[in-house]
Amino acid sequence: MIQSYLDVTLYHYLILSAILFSIGAFGLMTSRNAVKILMCVEIMINAANINLVAFSSYSSPFNLSGQIFTTFSIAIAAAEAAIGLAIFIVLYRLYGTIDVDEIDFLRW
Amino acid sequence: MQVGSRYLGSFVAFALFLAFIVMSISEMVCQYPVKLSADSANASTWAIGYLIFTDYLLAFEVLSLVLLVAMIGAIFLAKKEVGE
């Protein structure tokens, strides 16, 4: 198999996933807004989904279990985002802010 | 927000990124192209849909229940109280 630089290998997917995951982790560690944190968590979930599809298609190209698993994972992420936004609405009603530095009632 | 926490966060995120890159490059087994294009025999949305409604039907139905429960929970959490 002749390989050129234009071929998309598993490396490209892994590097894209690493970039996305690092952006998500950076936002998760530095942002104070709860909605921003939820968006960064979604970016990290998407990085994991890219890894799932890439490894599935690499290890067994004619077996679609990884892609179906990723479809289910996206649906779970949607449910998580909905619940998270509802929790933020309740937090805003209770505390008047969604700054995660102010909301420290789970801190021991 | 504090300036130091952003510097620390960017440093940790960059270290994480370097660790991921080193881990994924150091395995020299994955240098052949991945067939993710639509011209490979089974990789089509038709095949994915067929598998979802045959082999993975139970998981699909359970997932629909999960989404329903999440929707009901979100509405319950976000609705205004009756007295307000």
pLDDT of res. B59:
94
pLDDT digit string, tens, across residues A11-65: 788 889 999 999 999 999 998 899 999 999 999 999 999 999 988 888 887 788 8
Name the CATH code of domain A10-95 (choices 3.40.50.150, 3.40.190.10, 1.10.287.3510, 3.30.559.10).
Answer: 1.10.287.3510
**Nearest chain B residue to A82, by CA:** B74
Task: With H, G, I as helix, E, B as strand and everything else as coil, classify residue B32.
Answer: coil
With a threshold of 0.90, tell me whether the complex ipTM lies above it. no
pLDDT of res. B16:
87
**Residues paired with residue A33 on neighbouring β-strands, in sequence order:** A99
pLDDT digit string, tens, across residues B13-71: 888 888 888 877 776 555 555 555 544 544 578 888 899 999 999 999 999 999 999 99
* Cβ contacts of B48 on chain A, cutoff 8 Å: 64, 67-68, 71
Domain parsing of chain A, residue ranges: 10-95
Q: Tell me the two tokens of residue B39.
A: 């011209």
Rounded to whole angstroms, how far apart are CA atoms A26 and B41? Answer: 39
pLDDT of res. B38:
45
